[in-house]
């Protein structure tokens, strides 16, 4: 599928989303004034260091936040499409849904597979019963119809349906469990699937396998995929667009090719330079100096300025807005984006 254009209505429009966690020391500002379109049928990667707010964004989108979290501001307009990809005209603000409506929204309109969910299965239930429970909770298919649907999904994620259906979770490997979770997420055929670190806990060959499964699924089913990952190679292979998250905000957003070839934000450039490859000498892999900010007591201005080699006075004073750079589709929040690539990339073309 080609990259959906910005003119097609989005599946989800997130506007001015701010999420805080209340802790003893104060309010952790995990997501700050976030604006993001999840485009119809696209694959979007959220990348960024640990603690930057990626999981909180994903949970916020599904309104699945823990009780210590407070959505301080924002709206999230969700649009339904027909099978041909035409907007049906049905749209609603996810923020305004009540508990009953939210239960319907989850799984049916969007599903999320959580970080470290491999151990989230109930150990005493067979996979068939876990599917049964989920289906029942949503008034979905039961019995033979459910089994058929599950078998179809197991086939898509390259699992042996007969074997998996009657297994207990401990009888499956980590990679198999991850694929079962992806299949479970797709049970009600949601137009939006959020995967939080889908390959992190797996060995390298199994990671490769999950990556292939996801590529394959995207070719066969039409859903928007939002995936969160530390792994830039996963983002490079699977994403149409990449959003770099820093201190609860998106600091760069662009299509995958542009982001890798032509990164505009010093932080994105830092993340990319920090990836070792088989052919780079260890001495050439750099890390980003310093550590992510304390989200309770953040620096003034651009939150990256204390770690940024290009920071000037203005960066200490004013937080830069996320604005178009080389073109309308490639945005960055940096006062110095025009200099960043030339000054920071090892071999700028």
Binding site for Mg ion (CB under 5 A): 55, 115
Which does residue 167 bind out of Mg ion, ligand ATP, none, counting CB within 5 to 8 angstroms by kind?
none
| Nearest distance from C-beta of residue 52 to Mg ion, angstroms | 9
Q: Does 66 bind ligand ATP (CB under 6 A)?
A: yes
Q: Does 255 bind ligand ATP (CB under 6 A)?
A: no
For ligand ATP, the closer CB: 238 or 295: 295
| Nearest distance from C-beta of residue 148 to ligand ATP, angstroms | 36
For ligand ATP, the closer CB: 59 or 269: 59
Residue with tokens 């027909």: 82
The DSSP line for 220-231 is HS--EEEEE-S-
For Mg ion, the closer CB: 55 or 268: 55
The neighbour count for residue 104, using CB atoms within 10 Å, is: 13
For ligand ATP, the closer CB: 43 or 55: 55
For Mg ion, the closer CB: 200 or 326: 200
Q: Are strands 323-324 and 331-332 parallel, antiparallel or unpaired?
A: antiparallel
For Mg ion, the closer CB: 118 or 315: 118
Q: For residues 256 and 240, is the Cβ–Cβ distance under 8 A?
A: yes
- Of 45-53, 70-78, 85-93, 120-128, the window that binds ligand ATP (rule: CB under 6 A) is 45-53
Which does residue 50 bind out of Mg ion, ligand ATP, none, counting CB within 5 to 8 angstroms by kind?
ligand ATP
Residue 223 token pair: 């859903």
In the chain, the largest separation of any two C-alpha atoms, in whole Å, equals 66
SS3 string of 127-194?
HHHHHHHHHHHCCCCCHHHHHHHHHHHHHHCCCCHHHHHCCCHHHCCHHHHHHHHHHHHCCCCCCEEE
Q: Does 280 bind ligand ATP (CB under 6 A)?
A: no
Residues 6+ apart with CB under 8 A from 91: 77, 78, 79, 80
Burial of 66 (0-12, 13-18, 19+ CB in 10 A): exposed
Q: Does 199 bind ligand ATP (CB under 6 A)?
A: no
Q: Which of residues 128-187 bind ligand ATP (CB under 6 A)?
A: none
For Mg ion, the closer CB: 231 or 258: 231
| Nearest distance from C-beta of residue 339 to Mg ion, angstroms | 31
For ligand ATP, the closer CB: 55 or 130: 55
Q: In 3D, which of 114, 11, 16 has the Cα closest to residue 66?
A: 114
| Nearest distance from C-beta of residue 250 to Mg ion, angstroms | 15
| Nearest distance from C-beta of residue 280 to ligand ATP, angstroms | 24
* Of the candidate residues 21, 81, 121, 267, the single one contacting ligand ATP (CB under 6 A): 21
DSSP, collapsed to helix, strand or coil, labels residue 257 as helix
Site string for ligand ATP, 97-136 (x = CB under 6 A): ------------------x---------------------
Q: In 3D, which of 206, 203, 258 has the Cα closest to residue 235?
A: 258
Residue 120 token pair: 């989230």
Q: Which of residues 294-323 bind ligand ATP (CB under 6 A)?
A: 295
| Nearest distance from C-beta of residue 51 to ligand ATP, angstroms | 4
Residues 6+ apart with CB under 8 A from 294: none
Q: What is the rounded CA–CA span in Å between residue 257 and residue 262? A: 8
- Of 23-31, 120-128, 281-289, 298-306, the window that binds ligand ATP (rule: CB under 6 A) is 23-31
Residue 148 token pair: 């058929």
Q: What is the rounded CA–CA span in Å between residue 135 and residue 149? A: 11
* Of the candidate residues 33, 55, 199, 264, the single one contacting ligand ATP (CB under 6 A): 55
Q: Are strands 241-246 and 43-47 parallel, antiparallel or unpaired?
A: parallel
Residues at the interface with ligand ATP (CB under 6 A): 21, 23, 28, 30, 48, 50-56, 66, 68, 115, 295
């Amino acid at each position: 599928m080609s990259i959906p254009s910005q003119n097609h209505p989005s599946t989800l429009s997130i506007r001015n989303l701010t999420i805080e966690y209340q802790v003893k020391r104060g309010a952790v500002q995990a997501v700050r004034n976030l604006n993001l379109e999840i485009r119809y049928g696209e694959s979007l990667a959220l990348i960024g260091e640990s603690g930057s707010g990626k999981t909180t964004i994903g949970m916020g989108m599904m309104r699945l936040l823990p009780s210590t979290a407070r959505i301080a501001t924002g709206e999230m307009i969700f649009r339904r499409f027909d099978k041909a990809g035409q907007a049906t005209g049905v749209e609603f603000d996810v923020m305004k849904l009540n508990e009953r409506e939210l239960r319907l929204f989850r799984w049916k309109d969007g599903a999320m597979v959580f970080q470290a969910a491999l151990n989230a299965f109930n150990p005493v239930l067979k996979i068939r019963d876990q599917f049964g429970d989920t289906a029942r909770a949503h008034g979905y298919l039961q019995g033979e119809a459910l089994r058929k649907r599950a078998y179809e999904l197991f086939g898509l994620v390259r699992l042996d349906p007969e074997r998996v259906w009657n297994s207990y979770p401990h009888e499956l490997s980590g990679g198999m469990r991850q694929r079962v979770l992806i299949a479970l997420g797709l049970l009600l055929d949601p137009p939006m699937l959020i995967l939080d670190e889908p390959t992190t806990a797996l060995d390298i060959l199994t990671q490769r396998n999950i990556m292939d499964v996801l590529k394959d699924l995207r070719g066969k089913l039409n859903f928007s995929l939002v995936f969160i990952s530390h792994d830039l190679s996963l983002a490079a292979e699977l994403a149409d667009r990449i959003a770099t998250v820093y201190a609860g905000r998106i600091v760069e957003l662009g299509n995958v090719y542009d982001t890798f070839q032509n990164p505009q934000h010093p932080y994105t450039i830092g993340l990319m330079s920090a990836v070792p490859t088989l052919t780079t000498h260890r001495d050439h892999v750099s890390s980003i100096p310093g550590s992510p900010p304390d989200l309770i007591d953040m620096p003034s201005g651009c939150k990256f300025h204390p770690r940024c080699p290009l920071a000037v006075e203005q960066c200490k004073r004013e937080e830069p807005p996320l604005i178009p750079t080389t073109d309308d589709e490639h945005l960055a929040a940096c006062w110095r984006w025009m200099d960043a690539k030339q000054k920071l990339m090892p071999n700028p073309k």
